[in-house]
């Protein structure tokens, strides 16, 4: 691994992989720390449910409502009257008639009904409601 000293004509062509290994380990640690901090969608305080069926989220968009009544398509705020057009585009592009839906526990019930009605009018067949799991101590 070291260089030879002297007048010999031998050439050492072994790569030094120690710096490369150090860089890869640092990148691995960075990704391990950053990944749990990444959240999908908008941060809302979810209601709790006793029975929850976990399902994979492959290509399914999340519609969210914050406490103040703001509606989000994924992580982007959207007006309720433009949500139907966005959902029609989603159905056409993804060939998907299902969405995830989450609303803050303190959201106005009428707003929740309006959003679900808009989703159904746009052609969404399945609205999967996201809740927090109720712990046994509650």
The average confidence (pLDDT) of the chain is 81
22 domain residue, yes or no = no
Parent domain of 66: 48-133
Asked whether residue 5 carries a pLDDT value surpassing 80, the answer given is: no
Give CA–CA dist 118/138, Å, rounded. 34
What is the average per-residue pLDDT within 53-61? 69
Asked whether residue 8 carries a pLDDT value surpassing 70, the answer given is: no
Residues belonging to the chain: 138
Residue 123 in tokens? 């052609």
123 domain residue, yes or no = yes
| Overall domain count for the chain | 1
Asked whether residue 122 carries a pLDDT value surpassing 60, the answer given is: yes
125 domain residue, yes or no = yes
114 domain residue, yes or no = yes
Confidence band for 52, pLDDT divided at 50, 70 and 90: low
pLDDT tens profile 73-108: 988 999 988 999 998 998 888 888 889 999 988 888
77 domain residue, yes or no = yes
Predicted TM-score (pTM) of the model is 0.59
99 domain residue, yes or no = yes
Q: Taking the CB of residue 124, how many other CB atoms lie within 10 A of it?
A: 22
Closest CA to 71 of 42, 106, 38, 39: 42
Largest CA distance in the chain: 87
The pLDDT value given to residue 129: 84
| CATH code where residue 117 lies | 3.30.420.270
8 domain residue, yes or no = no
For residue 106, how far is the Cα from the chain centroid?
A: 22
119 domain residue, yes or no = yes
Asked whether residue 15 carries a pLDDT value surpassing 90, the answer given is: no
- Which of 32-36, 66-70, 118-122 has the weakest average pLDDT? 32-36
């Amino acid at each position: 691994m070291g260089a030879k000293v002297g007048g010999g004509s031998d050439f050492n062509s072994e790569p030094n992989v120690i710096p490369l290994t150090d860089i890869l380990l640092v990148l691995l640690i960075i990704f391990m720390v950053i990944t749990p901090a990444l959240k999908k969608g908008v941060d809302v305080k979810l209601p709790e449910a006793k029975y929850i069926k976990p399902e994979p989220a492959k290509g399914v968009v999340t519609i969210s409502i914050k406490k103040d009544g703001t509606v989000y398509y994924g992580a982007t705020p959207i007006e309720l009257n433009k949500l139907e057009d966005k959902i029609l585009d989603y159905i056409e592009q993804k060939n998907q008639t299902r969405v995830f839906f989450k609303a803050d526990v303190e959201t106005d019930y009428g707003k929740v009904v309006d959003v679900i009605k808009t989703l159904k009018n746009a052609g969404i067949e399945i609205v999967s409601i996201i809740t927090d799991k109720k712990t046994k101590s509650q």
